[in-house]
């Protein structure tokens, strides 16, 4: 009898966990003919960022200014997805090369409107086994993807399935590596060059109710402004395996855009690298990134538009507030839609250069409306 009860409990637990792999979202505007997904790049936390976020008066970490001016874009999208490129390993906190970030950073991302967190990146194991477990625990209230406590949890939660307006979307996530670190058994991380990736995609193709398959992938060469042959090859391989859309991260710069043709004739859009959502990287090409918006026709279930919002990261103060980091949509700033001016000409020039570089690289697509 005891064994039967244990078996029944295990089956019930599996059913509950399986349901957790499916997430239902409501359309934010039912009058629109499309569903909008928004993808943000690498959300990082160098040591200066969390030191500046610390508010001595309230004794808390205040990250609200970081994403304040992105809120309108996040509010317009139906699902907002970000690459969470750090760990919530607890104090003592640390920046590069092994990130350990205050929990308030996750809270601020969520409060701003980010709903889904991608974990398959080269820094996911920075906190070692204990930090990995704590990160997964802190992210457990949210849809997350790409790293799991064990293979059982992975099988129950992967791929991540979104249900919205009768549409069923499968999100996949994988990384090229984890900085030479390996998951400690039974933890697991999704890697690109594995037989398991092919198995996952083949299994998803058996589910004919899935309308769209998306890969958010961590790949490429850091700071290289154009995609390389490896990305091209992997992108084509994924398209041929059944992926319908590819969004990339890792290079910490915005890379180019391309549409691949799969062997079955499908056209597969590829945004090779979104750049940084937020970081302390201040040099040209790395002091910003893009929000990529993907519109899916509600009738045909096909991608009809890929657009973007160029974003510049300002380090310093604005409107006499204490210093912090601010993600600034460059079109809004240049069109005078924001309630401030940057403190000096040098910073203004940096923003304008960030904008021009991004627009030049993504000449094949246009701003999000």
In the prediction, which pLDDT does 21 show?
78
Please report how many Cα atoms fall inside a 13 Å half-sphere around the Cα of residue 352, on the Cβ side. 10
Say which residue the tokens 């993504």 belong to: 362
Token code pair at residue 302: 């096909």
Q: Where are the alpha helices (DSSP H) in 178-244?
A: 195-205, 229-241
Distance between CA 119 and CA 216 in Å, rounded?
10
Q: Are residues 173 and 190 in contact, defined by beta-carbon separation less than 8 angstroms?
A: yes
Say which residue the tokens 């001595």 belong to: 56
Say which residue the tokens 């993600």 belong to: 327
**What DSSP state is assigned to residue 367?**
B
In the prediction, which pLDDT does 223 show?
97
| Cis peptide leading into residue 92 (ω within 30°) | yes
Token code pair at residue 152: 């059982």
Terminal CA-to-CA distance of the chain, rounded, Å? 62
**What DSSP state is assigned to residue 277?**
E
Q: Are residues 281 and 287 in contact, defined by beta-carbon separation less than 8 angstroms?
A: yes
In the prediction, which pLDDT does 18 show?
37
Say which residue the tokens 């009738």 belong to: 299
Strands 167-175 and 160-164: antiparallel
Distance between CA 83 and CA 86 in Å, rounded?
9
Domain-wise residue ranges, the chain: 24-361
Question: H/E element holding 246?
Answer: strand 245-249
**CATH class assigned to 24-361:** alpha beta
Q: Where are the alpha helices (DSSP H) in the chain?
A: 2-20, 47-53, 64-67, 71-76, 104-112, 128-139, 151-157, 195-205, 229-241, 330-334, 345-361
**Chain-centre distance for alpha carbon 240:** 23
What are the residue ranges in the chain where pLDDT is below 50? 1-20
In the prediction, which pLDDT does 193 show?
83
Token code pair at residue 128: 């070692």
Q: Which residues contact 149 (CB under 8 A, 6 or more apart)?
A: 133, 136, 186, 187
Distance between CA 146 and CA 118 in Å, rounded?
6
Helix axes 195-205, 229-241, angle to 10 degrees: 30
């Amino acid at each position: 009898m005891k064994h039967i009860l244990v078996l029944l409990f295990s089956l019930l637990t599996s059913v509950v966990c399986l349901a957790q792999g499916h997430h239902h979202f409501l359309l934010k505007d039912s009058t629109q003919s499309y569903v909008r997904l928004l993808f943000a790049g690498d959300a990082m936390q160098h040591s200066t960022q969390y030191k500046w976020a610390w508010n001595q008066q309230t004794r808390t970490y205040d990250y609200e200014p970081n994403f304040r001016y992105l809120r309108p874009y996040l509010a317009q999208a139906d699902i907002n997805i970000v690459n969470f490129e750090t760990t919530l390993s607890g104090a003592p906190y640390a920046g590069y090369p092994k990130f350990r970030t205050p929990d308030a950073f996750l809270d601020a991302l969520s409060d701003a409107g980010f709903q889904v967190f991608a974990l398959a990146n080269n820094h996911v194991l920075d906190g070692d086994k204990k930090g990995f477990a704590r990160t997964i625990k802190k992210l457990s209230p949210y849809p997350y993807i790409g790293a799991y406590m064990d293979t059982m949890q992975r099988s129950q939660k992967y791929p991540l399935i979104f249900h919205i307006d009768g549409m069923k979307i499968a999100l996949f996530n994988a990384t090229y590596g984890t900085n030479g670190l390996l998951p400690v058994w039974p933890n697991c991380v999704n890697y690109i060059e594995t037989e398991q990736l092919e198995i996952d995609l083949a299994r998803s193709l058996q589910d004919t109710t899935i309308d769209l398959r998306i890969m958010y992938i961590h790949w490429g060469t850091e700071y290289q402004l154009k995609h390389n042959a490896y990305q091209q090859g992997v992108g084509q391989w994924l398209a041929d395996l059944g992926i319908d859309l590819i969004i990339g991260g890792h290079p910490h710069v915005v890379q180019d855009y391309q549409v691949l043709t799969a062997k079955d004739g499908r056209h597969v859009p590829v945004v090779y690298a979104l750049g940084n959502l937020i970081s302390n990287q201040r040099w040209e090409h790395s002091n910003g990134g893009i929000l990529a918006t993907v519109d899916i026709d509600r009738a045909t279930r096909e991608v009809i538009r890929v657009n973007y919002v160029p974003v510049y990261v300002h380090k310093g103060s604005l409107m006499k507030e204490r210093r912090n980091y601010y993600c600034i949509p460059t079109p809004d700033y240049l069109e005078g839609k924001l309630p401030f001016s940057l403190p000096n000409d040098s910073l203004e020039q940096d923003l304008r250069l960030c904008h021009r570089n991004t627009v030049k690289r993504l000449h094949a697509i246009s701003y999000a409306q």
